[in-house]
Protein backbone atom coordinates (compact mmCIF):
# COMPACT_ATOMS: atom_id res chain seq x y z
CA UNK A 1 0.00 0.00 0.00
CA UNK A 2 1.65 3.20 -1.14
CA UNK A 3 -0.91 5.94 -0.58
CA UNK A 4 0.31 8.86 1.47
CA UNK A 5 -1.15 9.68 4.84
CA UNK A 6 -2.06 13.23 3.88
CA UNK A 7 -3.60 12.17 0.57
CA UNK A 8 -5.91 9.73 2.33
CA UNK A 9 -7.19 12.46 4.64
CA UNK A 10 -7.86 14.77 1.70
CA UNK A 11 -9.92 12.16 -0.13
CA UNK A 12 -12.03 11.01 2.82
CA UNK A 13 -14.06 13.39 5.01
CA UNK A 14 -13.85 13.08 8.80
CA UNK A 15 -16.54 11.12 10.64
CA UNK A 16 -17.50 12.47 14.03
CA UNK A 17 -18.49 10.08 16.83
CA UNK A 18 -21.49 12.36 17.33
CA UNK A 19 -22.91 11.07 14.05
CA UNK A 20 -23.34 7.61 15.54
CA UNK A 21 -24.53 8.70 18.98
CA UNK A 22 -27.70 6.64 19.32
CA UNK A 23 -29.27 8.67 22.12
CA UNK A 24 -28.56 11.91 20.28
CA UNK A 25 -30.24 10.93 17.02
CA UNK A 26 -33.90 10.38 16.19
CA UNK A 27 -33.51 6.78 17.33
CA UNK A 28 -35.47 5.21 20.15
CA UNK A 29 -33.70 4.80 23.46
CA UNK A 30 -34.77 1.17 23.87
CA UNK A 31 -33.41 -0.72 26.85
CA UNK A 32 -30.45 1.04 28.44
CA UNK A 33 -28.20 -2.02 28.41
CA UNK A 34 -28.89 -2.68 24.73
CA UNK A 35 -28.40 0.95 23.75
CA UNK A 36 -25.06 1.25 25.53
CA UNK A 37 -23.76 -1.98 24.00
CA UNK A 38 -24.86 -1.01 20.50
CA UNK A 39 -23.23 2.36 21.02
CA UNK A 40 -19.87 0.66 21.58
CA UNK A 41 -20.31 -1.17 18.26
CA UNK A 42 -21.03 2.09 16.45
CA UNK A 43 -18.03 3.81 18.03
CA UNK A 44 -15.79 0.91 16.94
CA UNK A 45 -16.97 1.59 13.38
CA UNK A 46 -15.92 5.23 13.73
CA UNK A 47 -12.54 4.21 15.14
CA UNK A 48 -11.86 1.90 12.21
CA UNK A 49 -12.86 4.66 9.82
CA UNK A 50 -10.50 7.08 11.57
CA UNK A 51 -7.58 4.66 11.45
CA UNK A 52 -8.01 3.94 7.73
CA UNK A 53 -8.56 7.63 6.96
CA UNK A 54 -5.20 8.41 8.56
CA UNK A 55 -3.64 6.34 5.77
CA UNK A 56 -1.16 4.41 7.91
CA UNK A 57 0.60 1.45 6.35
CA UNK A 58 0.10 -0.82 9.38
CA UNK A 59 -3.71 -0.65 9.41
CA UNK A 60 -4.08 -4.35 10.28
CA UNK A 61 -1.76 -3.97 13.27
CA UNK A 62 -3.80 -1.04 14.55
CA UNK A 63 -7.12 -2.80 14.04
CA UNK A 64 -5.74 -5.81 15.90
CA UNK A 65 -5.56 -3.64 19.04
CA UNK A 66 -9.36 -3.38 19.09
CA UNK A 67 -11.01 -6.07 21.20
CA UNK A 68 -12.18 -9.05 19.12
CA UNK A 69 -15.89 -8.54 19.76
CA UNK A 70 -15.72 -5.05 18.22
CA UNK A 71 -13.01 -5.61 15.62
CA UNK A 72 -15.42 -6.52 12.84
CA UNK A 73 -17.18 -3.18 13.24
CA UNK A 74 -13.80 -1.44 13.07
CA UNK A 75 -13.00 -3.26 9.83
CA UNK A 76 -16.41 -2.20 8.54
CA UNK A 77 -15.61 1.45 9.25
CA UNK A 78 -12.14 1.10 7.76
CA UNK A 79 -13.72 -0.37 4.63
CA UNK A 80 -15.93 2.68 4.17
CA UNK A 81 -12.91 4.99 4.42
CA UNK A 82 -10.93 2.78 2.01
CA UNK A 83 -13.81 2.61 -0.47
CA UNK A 84 -14.33 6.36 -0.47
CA UNK A 85 -10.63 6.95 -1.06
CA UNK A 86 -10.51 4.41 -3.88
CA UNK A 87 -13.61 5.82 -5.53
CA UNK A 88 -12.15 9.33 -5.41
CA UNK A 89 -8.86 8.20 -6.95
CA UNK A 90 -8.44 7.70 -10.72
CA UNK A 91 -8.13 4.07 -11.68
CA UNK A 92 -4.61 2.67 -11.80
CA UNK A 93 -3.33 -0.35 -13.69
CA UNK A 94 -2.86 -3.46 -11.53
CA UNK A 95 0.63 -3.84 -10.15
CA UNK A 96 2.72 -6.49 -11.99
CA UNK A 97 2.08 -9.94 -10.53
CA UNK A 98 -0.68 -8.75 -8.22
CA UNK A 99 -4.29 -9.85 -8.15
CA UNK A 100 -6.57 -7.43 -9.97
CA UNK A 101 -7.46 -4.52 -7.72
CA UNK A 102 -5.12 -5.48 -4.90
CA UNK A 103 -3.20 -2.22 -5.26
CA UNK A 104 -6.27 -0.38 -3.95
CA UNK A 105 -6.86 0.60 -0.34
CA UNK A 106 -9.84 -1.73 -0.11
CA UNK A 107 -7.80 -4.55 -1.62
CA UNK A 108 -5.11 -3.98 0.99
CA UNK A 109 -7.74 -4.14 3.72
CA UNK A 110 -8.89 -7.52 2.41
CA UNK A 111 -5.38 -8.96 2.43
CA UNK A 112 -3.69 -10.72 5.35
CA UNK A 113 -5.69 -10.53 8.59
CA UNK A 114 -8.42 -8.68 6.73
CA UNK A 115 -9.46 -11.91 5.02
CA UNK A 116 -11.05 -12.94 8.31
CA UNK A 117 -13.34 -9.93 8.10
CA UNK A 118 -14.25 -10.28 4.43
CA UNK A 119 -17.98 -10.06 5.15
CA UNK A 120 -17.68 -6.86 7.19
CA UNK A 121 -15.34 -5.27 4.66
CA UNK A 122 -17.88 -5.80 1.90
CA UNK A 123 -20.68 -4.42 4.07
CA UNK A 124 -18.57 -1.38 4.96
CA UNK A 125 -17.67 -0.70 1.35
CA UNK A 126 -21.37 -0.60 0.59
CA UNK A 127 -21.90 2.38 2.87
CA UNK A 128 -20.35 4.39 0.03
CA UNK A 129 -23.41 3.57 -2.07
CA UNK A 130 -25.48 5.67 0.31
CA UNK A 131 -23.87 8.77 -1.21
CA UNK A 132 -22.63 7.54 -4.59
CA UNK A 133 -24.41 5.65 -7.38
CA UNK A 134 -24.56 1.93 -6.66
CA UNK A 135 -23.30 1.07 -10.14
CA UNK A 136 -20.16 3.13 -9.52
CA UNK A 137 -19.44 1.35 -6.25
CA UNK A 138 -20.21 -2.03 -7.75
CA UNK A 139 -18.00 -1.49 -10.82
CA UNK A 140 -15.02 0.31 -9.33
CA UNK A 141 -14.25 -1.63 -6.16
CA UNK A 142 -12.42 -5.01 -5.99
CA UNK A 143 -15.30 -7.03 -4.56
CA UNK A 144 -15.84 -10.78 -4.27
CA UNK A 145 -18.14 -12.16 -7.02
CA UNK A 146 -20.73 -13.36 -4.49
CA UNK A 147 -20.09 -11.31 -1.36
CA UNK A 148 -20.23 -8.06 -3.33
CA UNK A 149 -23.98 -8.12 -2.78
CA UNK A 150 -23.28 -7.60 0.92
CA UNK A 151 -22.19 -4.12 -0.13
CA UNK A 152 -25.78 -3.48 -1.17
CA UNK A 153 -26.83 -4.62 2.30
CA UNK A 154 -24.39 -2.05 3.69
CA UNK A 155 -25.95 0.68 1.58
CA UNK A 156 -29.38 -0.17 2.99
CA UNK A 157 -28.04 -0.09 6.53
CA UNK A 158 -26.52 3.36 6.01
CA UNK A 159 -29.79 4.73 4.66
CA UNK A 160 -31.73 3.49 7.65
CA UNK A 161 -29.14 4.38 10.28
CA UNK A 162 -28.47 7.93 9.13
CA UNK A 163 -31.97 8.60 7.82
CA UNK A 164 -33.67 7.36 10.98
CA UNK A 165 -37.38 6.59 11.37
CA UNK A 166 -38.41 9.21 8.81
CA UNK A 167 -36.33 7.68 6.03
CA UNK A 168 -37.50 4.20 6.99
CA UNK A 169 -41.15 5.25 6.76
CA UNK A 170 -40.55 6.80 3.33
CA UNK A 171 -38.95 3.60 2.09
CA UNK A 172 -41.86 1.60 3.50
CA UNK A 173 -44.26 3.52 1.27
CA UNK A 174 -42.51 2.36 -1.90
CA UNK A 175 -44.28 -0.50 -3.70
CA UNK A 176 -42.97 -4.06 -3.53
CA UNK A 177 -41.53 -4.67 -6.98
CA UNK A 178 -39.84 -7.82 -8.23
CA UNK A 179 -36.39 -6.23 -7.93
CA UNK A 180 -33.69 -8.28 -6.17
CA UNK A 181 -31.48 -5.20 -5.75
CA UNK A 182 -34.18 -3.44 -3.74
CA UNK A 183 -34.82 -6.66 -1.84
CA UNK A 184 -31.21 -6.92 -0.63
CA UNK A 185 -31.20 -3.20 0.13
CA UNK A 186 -34.16 -3.79 2.44
CA UNK A 187 -32.21 -6.48 4.27
CA UNK A 188 -29.62 -3.86 5.19
CA UNK A 189 -32.43 -1.55 6.19
CA UNK A 190 -33.76 -4.27 8.47
CA UNK A 191 -30.33 -4.63 10.05
CA UNK A 192 -30.30 -0.89 10.75
CA UNK A 193 -33.60 -1.23 12.64
CA UNK A 194 -31.79 -3.07 15.42
CA UNK A 195 -29.76 0.11 16.02
CA UNK A 196 -32.46 2.66 15.18
CA UNK A 197 -34.85 1.04 17.66
CA UNK A 198 -32.04 0.16 20.09
CA UNK A 199 -33.03 -3.49 20.38
CA UNK A 200 -36.75 -2.91 20.96
CA UNK A 201 -38.31 -5.84 19.06
CA UNK A 202 -41.98 -4.76 19.32
CA UNK A 203 -41.01 -1.34 17.93
CA UNK A 204 -39.07 -3.03 15.13
CA UNK A 205 -42.12 -5.17 14.37
CA UNK A 206 -44.30 -2.08 14.07
CA UNK A 207 -41.83 -0.56 11.62
CA UNK A 208 -41.72 -3.73 9.55
CA UNK A 209 -45.54 -3.99 9.48
CA UNK A 210 -45.49 -0.73 7.55
CA UNK A 211 -43.74 -2.42 4.59
CA UNK A 212 -45.42 -4.45 1.85
CA UNK A 213 -45.92 -8.07 3.00
CA UNK A 214 -43.47 -9.48 0.45
CA UNK A 215 -40.60 -7.45 1.88
CA UNK A 216 -41.19 -8.14 5.56
CA UNK A 217 -39.21 -11.41 5.69
CA UNK A 218 -36.22 -9.60 4.13
CA UNK A 219 -36.28 -6.97 6.85
CA UNK A 220 -36.42 -9.70 9.49
CA UNK A 221 -33.40 -11.35 7.86
CA UNK A 222 -31.47 -8.14 8.51
CA UNK A 223 -32.71 -8.03 12.09
CA UNK A 224 -31.56 -11.62 12.66
CA UNK A 225 -28.08 -10.81 11.41
CA UNK A 226 -27.81 -7.72 13.64
CA UNK A 227 -29.14 -9.49 16.73
CA UNK A 228 -26.61 -12.30 16.41
CA UNK A 229 -23.59 -10.30 15.26
CA UNK A 230 -23.95 -7.10 17.30
CA UNK A 231 -25.75 -8.51 20.34
CA UNK A 232 -27.80 -6.52 22.82
CA UNK A 233 -30.88 -8.75 22.83
CA UNK A 234 -32.43 -9.35 26.23
CA UNK A 235 -34.35 -12.48 27.18
CA UNK A 236 -37.59 -10.52 26.90
CA UNK A 237 -36.73 -9.41 23.36
CA UNK A 238 -35.81 -12.97 22.37
CA UNK A 239 -39.29 -14.05 23.48
CA UNK A 240 -40.77 -11.56 21.01
CA UNK A 241 -38.52 -12.78 18.18
CA UNK A 242 -39.44 -16.39 18.83
CA UNK A 243 -43.11 -15.64 18.15
CA UNK A 244 -42.31 -15.20 14.45
CA UNK A 245 -43.09 -18.14 12.19
CA UNK A 246 -43.20 -19.18 8.56
CA UNK A 247 -41.18 -17.17 6.07
CA UNK A 248 -40.30 -14.54 8.64
CA UNK A 249 -38.82 -17.08 11.04
CA UNK A 250 -36.82 -18.71 8.22
CA UNK A 251 -35.50 -15.31 7.15
CA UNK A 252 -34.56 -14.50 10.74
CA UNK A 253 -32.61 -17.78 10.89
CA UNK A 254 -30.86 -17.01 7.60
CA UNK A 255 -29.62 -13.72 9.02
CA UNK A 256 -28.45 -15.57 12.12
CA UNK A 257 -26.52 -18.05 9.95
CA UNK A 258 -24.82 -15.20 8.11
CA UNK A 259 -23.79 -13.71 11.45
CA UNK A 260 -22.47 -17.05 12.71
CA UNK A 261 -20.36 -17.55 9.59
CA UNK A 262 -18.99 -13.99 9.69
CA UNK A 263 -17.97 -14.39 13.34
CA UNK A 264 -16.46 -17.83 12.73
CA UNK A 265 -14.48 -16.61 9.74
CA UNK A 266 -12.97 -13.90 11.95
CA UNK A 267 -11.90 -16.58 14.42
CA UNK A 268 -13.95 -15.35 17.35
CA UNK A 269 -17.54 -16.39 18.11
CA UNK A 270 -18.54 -14.43 21.23
CA UNK A 271 -20.95 -15.86 23.76
CA UNK A 272 -23.76 -13.52 22.71
CA UNK A 273 -23.52 -14.75 19.11
CA UNK A 274 -23.55 -18.41 20.12
CA UNK A 275 -26.58 -17.87 22.36
CA UNK A 276 -28.51 -15.75 19.86
CA UNK A 277 -27.90 -18.10 16.93
CA UNK A 278 -29.07 -21.07 18.98
CA UNK A 279 -32.19 -19.17 20.04
CA UNK A 280 -33.12 -18.10 16.51
CA UNK A 281 -32.18 -21.26 14.60
CA UNK A 282 -32.51 -24.06 17.14
CA UNK A 283 -29.02 -25.36 16.27
CA UNK A 284 -25.48 -24.56 17.49
CA UNK A 285 -23.76 -21.56 15.91
CA UNK A 286 -21.27 -23.82 14.14
CA UNK A 287 -24.07 -25.76 12.45
CA UNK A 288 -25.79 -22.56 11.33
CA UNK A 289 -22.49 -21.24 10.00
CA UNK A 290 -22.11 -24.47 8.00
CA UNK A 291 -25.44 -23.77 6.30
CA UNK A 292 -23.88 -20.62 4.88
CA UNK A 293 -20.45 -22.02 4.11
CA UNK A 294 -21.56 -25.33 2.60
CA UNK A 295 -23.96 -23.70 0.16
CA UNK A 296 -21.69 -20.84 -0.87
CA UNK A 297 -19.77 -22.74 -3.55
CA UNK A 298 -23.01 -23.94 -5.12
CA UNK A 299 -24.29 -20.37 -5.23
CA UNK A 300 -21.08 -19.10 -6.77
CA UNK A 301 -21.21 -21.82 -9.42
CA UNK A 302 -24.50 -20.30 -10.58
CA UNK A 303 -22.65 -17.10 -11.52
CA UNK A 304 -21.80 -13.73 -9.98
CA UNK A 305 -25.23 -12.13 -10.43
CA UNK A 306 -27.57 -11.16 -7.63
CA UNK A 307 -29.87 -14.08 -8.43
CA UNK A 308 -27.07 -16.39 -7.23
CA UNK A 309 -26.82 -14.46 -3.99
CA UNK A 310 -30.56 -14.70 -3.50
CA UNK A 311 -30.44 -18.47 -4.22
CA UNK A 312 -27.79 -18.73 -1.50
CA UNK A 313 -30.07 -17.01 1.00
CA UNK A 314 -33.07 -19.13 0.04
CA UNK A 315 -31.02 -22.31 0.42
CA UNK A 316 -30.02 -21.30 3.94
CA UNK A 317 -33.66 -20.60 4.75
CA UNK A 318 -34.62 -24.01 3.37
CA UNK A 319 -32.07 -25.69 5.63
CA UNK A 320 -33.28 -23.70 8.62
CA UNK A 321 -36.88 -24.69 7.94
CA UNK A 322 -35.90 -28.37 7.59
CA UNK A 323 -33.96 -28.24 10.86
CA UNK A 324 -36.95 -26.75 12.65
CA UNK A 325 -39.00 -29.76 11.55
Q: What is the pLDDT of residues 260-298, one digit of tens each?
A: 999 999 999 999 999 999 999 999 999 999 999 999 999
State the sign of the Cα–Cα–Cα–Cα dihedral 302, 304, 310, 315: positive
Q: Does this model's pTM top 0.95?
A: no
Alpha helical stretches, state H, 242-270: 246-265
> Residue 247: is its pLDDT beyond 60?
yes
Task: Classify residue 27 by its DSSP letter.
Answer: S
Nearest Cα to 121, choosing from 154, 95, 85, 156?
154
22-26, 56-60, 280-284: least confident range: 22-26
Q: What is the pLDDT of residues 85-100, one digit of tens each?
A: 999 886 654 443 344 4
| Per-residue pLDDT band at 9 (split at 50, 70, 90) | low
> Residue 256: is its pLDDT beyond 90?
yes
> Residue 75: is its pLDDT beyond 90?
yes
Residue 28: exposure state from Cβ atoms within 10 A (0-12, 13-18, ≥19): buried
Spacing of C-alpha 23 from chain mean position: 21
> Residue 217: is its pLDDT beyond 90?
yes
Q: What is the pLDDT of residues 115-169, one digit of tens each?
A: 999 999 999 999 998 888 888 888 899 899 999 999 999 999 999 998 888 889 8
Which pLDDT belongs to residue 275? 98
Which pLDDT belongs to residue 92? 54
Q: What is the pLDDT of residues 156-205, one digit of tens each?
A: 999 999 888 888 989 898 888 889 999 999 999 999 999 999 999 999 99
Q: How far apart are CA 295 and CA 291, in angstroms?
A: 6
Number of H helices, E strands in the chain: 16, 0
Rounded to the nearest integer, the mean pLDDT of the chain is: 89
Which pLDDT belongs to residue 178? 80
> Residue 314: is its pLDDT beyond 50?
yes
Which pLDDT belongs to residue 276? 98
Which pLDDT belongs to residue 17? 87
Q: How far apart are CA 232 and CA 228, in angstroms?
A: 9
Q: How far apart are CA 40 and CA 218, in angstroms?
A: 26
Which pLDDT belongs to residue 25? 56
Q: How far apart are CA 206 and CA 136, in angstroms?
A: 34
Average pLDDT over residues 207-227: 96
Nearest Cα to 288, choosing from 308, 271, 264?
264
Which pLDDT belongs to residue 102? 47
Interhelix angle 306-324/246-265, nearest 10 degrees: 110
Phi then psi for residue 305, to 5 deg, are -80, 165
Which pLDDT belongs to residue 139? 87
Which pLDDT belongs to residue 313? 98
| Per-residue pLDDT band at 84 (split at 50, 70, 90) | very high
Q: How far apart are CA 204 and CA 268, in angstroms?
A: 28
> Residue 300: is its pLDDT beyond 80?
yes
Amino acid sequence: MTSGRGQGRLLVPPLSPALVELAGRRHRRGEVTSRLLLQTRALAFVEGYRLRRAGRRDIHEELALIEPVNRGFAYEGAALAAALADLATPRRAPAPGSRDGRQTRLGHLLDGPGAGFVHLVHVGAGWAAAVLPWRTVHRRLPLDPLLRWLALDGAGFARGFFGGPGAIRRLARRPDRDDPVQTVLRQGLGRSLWFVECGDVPAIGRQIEGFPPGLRPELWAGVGLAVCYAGGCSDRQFEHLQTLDGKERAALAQGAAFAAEARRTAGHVPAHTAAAVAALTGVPADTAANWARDSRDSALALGPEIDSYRWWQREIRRRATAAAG
